[in-house]
Structure 1
Amino acid sequence: MTRILITQTASPRRVHARAEEILKRSTYPEASLTILCNPEPETVGYLKTVPGAEIIPLHAAHRRRILRELRERNFDLMVTFWTGEKGYWREKIASLGLCRKKVVDMGDGGQWPLTWRFVVRYWLFRLRHPLPTDHALYRPAPASDEPADYHDGERVLIIQSAEPLHVLRALDHMESHPLFRRPRFTLFCRNRPEVVARLEKHPMLYAVRTHSEMRRAWHHLRALRRERFDAVVVFFTGDRSYWKIKFLPFLLGIRHKVVFNENCDCFFFSLRKWLALMAHRMSDHSRTGLEARWTNQVRRLASSLTKLAVLPFRFGWLVLVWAWLRMTAARARKASAA
Structure 2
Amino acid sequence: MSRPVKAVGTAGPAGTEQPGKTGKRLFRTVPAGSPKAPGAPAASWLRRAAVLTGLTLALVAAAVAGLALGSVRIPPGEVVRALLPGAAPSPFRTIVVEVRLPRVLLGAVVGAGLAVVGCVLQALVRNRLADPFLLGISSGASTGAVLVLTLGIGVTTAVAMPVGAFLGALGALVLVYALASRGGGMTGTRLVLAGVTVSYILTALTTLVLVASARPEHFREALYWSLGGLGSARWDTVWLPAAVTCAALPLLFALSRPLDLMLVGEESATVLGLDVARFRAAVFVLASLITAVLVAASGAVGFIGLMVPHAARLLVGATHRALLPVSALAGAAALIVADLAARTVASPQDIPVGVLTALIGGPLFLWLMRSRTAQGAAL
TM-score (norm 2): 0.24
TM-score (norm 1): 0.26
Structure number having the greater strand percentage: 1
Structure number having the greater helix percentage: 2
Structure with the greater relative contact order (CA < 8 A, sep ≥ 6): 1 or 2?
A: 2
